[in-house]
Every structure is written in C-alpha cells, then in structure tokens.
C-alpha cells in the first residue's frame, strides 16, 4: 500500500492560518472517515492531534481542526505559534484493516 501524499513543507507567520493536505485513494481516505493527524517535535514521540477526520483529543488546542473532501483530508492550524513548528503526519484506516501514514509535512513558523 502506498503512503498518503502530503506536501513536504508548509510555512506561515505567527498568527496566520496554514493548511496541510493529505491525499489518498479509494482504498483509504475516500471510503472511511478515519483520518488522523500527528504532531512530532524533534527527538520526541508523535502526539495525536486529530482523529476520525474532525475530532480533537482532550487537551489539544482548538486552534487545530480537521476536514475531508473526497480523496483529500486537511489539517488547519489557526493562530500559528512558534510551538507549532514540527512535523505533521496524516494517517488513514484502509480496506485491508491496516493503517497507512503520509510521508510527513514540516511546518515552519517564520
């Protein structure tokens, strides 16, 4: 199964909003509302930020939001802050009852 497609990098200034896309196929993103997003700071374990396309776990800032349209899911970070600088990975449940990740997007706060 191929990795989901994410842009290699996205950048924005503090206070701005940015959106990271995650494109999949008819075997993963399209048929299921099971897209998740993870934040990973250097040298740290990833952290769940969004699950089931739009849901935020307890404790995650409401500046993070998710959506999906067709074969593309998106993560939007509003009011960008320096601490948001990290790698972000999307993932999706698949028709093989497995999980596939995207290759990751590096977010830079200018």
Partner 1 sequence: EVQLVQSAAELKKPGESLTISCQASGYSFSSHFTGWVRQMPGKGLEWMGSIYPGDFDARYSPSFQGHVTIAADKSTSTVYLQWRSLKASDTAMYYCVRQVGIAMGGTHFDYWGHGTLVTVSS
Binding stretches for partner 1 (CB under 8 A) = 1, 3, 32, 34, 36, 38, 40, 45-48, 51-52, 57, 89, 91, 93, 96-104
Residue among 13 and 97 whose Cβ is closer to partner 1: 97
Residue among 93 and 107 whose Cβ is closer to partner 1: 93
- Residue 95 is classified by DSSP as T
Q: Provide the CA 27 distance to its chain's centre, in angstroms.
A: 18
- Closest Cα partner for 41 from 83, 90, 103? 83
Question: Measured from the CB of residue 27, what is the shortest distance to partner 1 in angstroms?
Answer: 12
d(CA 4, CA 6): 7
Residue among 14 and 103 whose Cβ is closer to partner 1: 103
**Two tokens at 39?**
């934040």
């Amino acid at each position: 199964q191929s990795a989901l497609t994410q842009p290699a990098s996205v950048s924005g200034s503090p206070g701005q909003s940015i959106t990271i896309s995650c494109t999949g196929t008819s075997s993963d993103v399209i048929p299921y509302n099971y897209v998740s997003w993870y934040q990973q700071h250097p040298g740290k374990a990833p952290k769940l930020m969004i699950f089931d396309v739009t849901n935020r776990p307890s404790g995650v800032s409401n500046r993070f939001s998710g959506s999906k349209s067709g074969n593309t899911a998106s993560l939007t970070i509003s009011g960008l802050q320096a601490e948001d600088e990290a790698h972000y990975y999307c993932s999706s449940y698949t028709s093989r009852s497995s999980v596939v990740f995207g290759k990751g997007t590096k977010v830079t706060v200018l």
